[in-house]
């Protein structure tokens, strides 16, 4: 074999290397496209849905109002049903919005770019729905007070602050203006 010629094995190795390089490049481009598509879908979701930040503010406000009532009002509320007071109606409406958001989040594919934020967001929505369910399903004043206290623990507050900061950052980064939620013109005005 002379130094100027290429053997069959060398040609094969070179071709194999070039094909492998092209496949890796194509996989990287495809992964990047999937990530960008995921971000686009997520942007659309954030534009269409009522702001989760506003929903969580409403939720915290209604929990605070309910927690401020005396035992007699809470007993009456339990006897009449969750939607007998404006706070209960607000909780029901927020739960409906969160359920829609939960379904839409489940449909958005998660790329590397959104893996952690998506997990925080879905976790926040799941926890908020669990709080609402705990309050609405309570049968005694004690159970109601315990369910209302669930939002007050330090881990929950820290998670909500982190989630809300991330939502604001994402909105600013992607040019999404803060929306007024569908509550804006109703008695749930925030």
Per-residue pLDDT band for 1 (boundaries 50, 70, 90) equals very low
pLDDT at 135 over 50: yes
**Tell me: the pLDDT tens digits for 23-43?**
999 888 887 776 777 777 776
Helix or strand run (H / E) with residue 7: none
Q: Which of 70, 127, 71 is nearest to 94 (CA)?
A: 127
- DSSP single-letter state for residue 188: T
Residue 2: its pLDDT value, please? 52
Per-domain residue ranges of the chain:
8-173
CB-CB contact of 138 with 96 (8 Å): no
**Tell me: the pLDDT tens digits for 41-53?**
776 766 666 566 6
> Strand, coil or helix: what is 52?
helix
pLDDT at 187 over 60: no
**Tell me: the pLDDT tens digits for 69-124?**
888 888 888 888 877 777 778 888 888 888 887 887 777 766 666 667 677 777 77
Where do the DSSP E strands lie in 92-178? none
Rounded Cα distance between 41 and 104, Å, is 10
The pTM score is 0.62
Phi and psi for 176 in degrees, rounded to 5? -95, 120
Per-residue pLDDT band for 185 (boundaries 50, 70, 90) equals very low
Residue 114: its pLDDT value, please? 67
Residue 50 has a CB neighbour count (10 Å cut-off) of 20
Rg (CA), the chain: 26
* Mean pLDDT score across all residues of the chain: 74
Per-residue pLDDT band for 184 (boundaries 50, 70, 90) equals very low
37 to 28, 42, 44, 177: CA distances (angstroms): 14, 8, 11, 20
Handedness of CA 125, 130, 135, 136 (dihedral sign): positive
**Tell me: the pLDDT tens digits for 141-156?**
888 888 887 765 666 6
User: What percentage of the chain has pLDDT greater than the value 90?
Assistant: 3
Task: Read off the tokens for 65.
Answer: 């109002």
125 to 78, 99, 103, 132, 163: CA distances (angstroms): 25, 8, 10, 11, 10
CA 80 remoteness from chain centre: 32
- DSSP single-letter state for residue 11: H
pLDDT at 189 over 60: no
């Amino acid at each position: 074999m002379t130094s100027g010629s290429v053997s069959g094995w060398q040609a094969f190795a070179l071709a194999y290397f070039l094909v492998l390089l092209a496949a890796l490049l194509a996989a990287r481009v495809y992964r990047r496209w999937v990530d960008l598509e995921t971000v686009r879908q997520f942007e659309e979701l954030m534009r269409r849905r009522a702001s989760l930040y506003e929903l969580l503010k409403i939720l915290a406000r209604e929990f605070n109002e309910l927690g401020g009532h005396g035992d007699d009002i809470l007993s009456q509320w339990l006897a009449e049903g969750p939607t007998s007071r404006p706070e209960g109606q607000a909780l029901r409406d927020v739960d409906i919005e969160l359920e829609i958001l939960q379904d839409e989040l489940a449909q958005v594919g998660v790329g590397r770019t959104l893996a952690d934020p998506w997990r925080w967001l879905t976790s926040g929505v799941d926890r908020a729905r669990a709080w609402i369910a705990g309050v609405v399903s309570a049968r005694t004043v004690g159970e109601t007070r315990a369910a209302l206290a669930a939002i007050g623990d330090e881990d929950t507050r820290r998670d909500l602050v982190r989630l809300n900061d991330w939502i604001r950052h994402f909105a600013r980064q992607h040019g999404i203006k803060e929306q007024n939620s569908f509550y804006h013109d109703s008695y749930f005005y925030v």
